[in-house]
Amino acid sequence: MEGPVSEEVMKFYRLFSGPDNKTHIEELPLSALPTIDSSQSAVAVFFRGYPAGYFLDWHPAPRRQWVVLMKGEVEFGLEDGSTHKLSPGDAFLAEDLTGKGHTARVGPEPLFWIVVPLAG
């Protein structure tokens, strides 16, 4: 049985490079996402895990990709000094392909996420 995804269950975000060539983040409303009738082409699926407290210094996204958090939390740091925490069930579209990018810090428990690189 399929039904709508509740915004109370999942949140969707977009990391993107702005006109200032810096990474920004925005929450995406469900209406902005592809529907079940309009699929996106993917080139692979990766399953990744990181230990508690792991820190990845400044980096842009390696390609356009969806990332879905399955376990643990991650906190993104942006050049403007803001931080943004994502939790299990949250998903983000990584499109910050230029500039300094963002940092990523794993929370107090191991992180597990699914990465889906998009075609084109």
83, 81, 84: which is closest to 69 by C-alpha?
84
Query: How do residues 27-70 score in pLDDT, each as one tens digit?
Result: 988 777 665 556 778 999 999 999 999 999 999 999 999 999 99
Q: Please give the Cα distance from 115 to 49 (Å, whole number).
A: 11
> What does the buried/exposed string (b/e) look like for 15-35 if buried means 16 or more CB atoms within 10 Å of the residue's CB?
bbbeeeebbbbeeeeeeeeee
- What's the CATH code of the domain at 97? 2.60.120.10
Asked, for residue 20, whether it belongs to a domain, the answer is yes
Per the structure, how many domains does the chain have? 1
**58-100 pLDDT, tens per residue?**
999 999 999 999 999 999 999 999 999 999 999 999 999 999 9
The burial class, CB within 10 Å (0-12 / 13-18 / 19+), for 48 is: exposed
Range of the domain at 62: 12-31+44-117
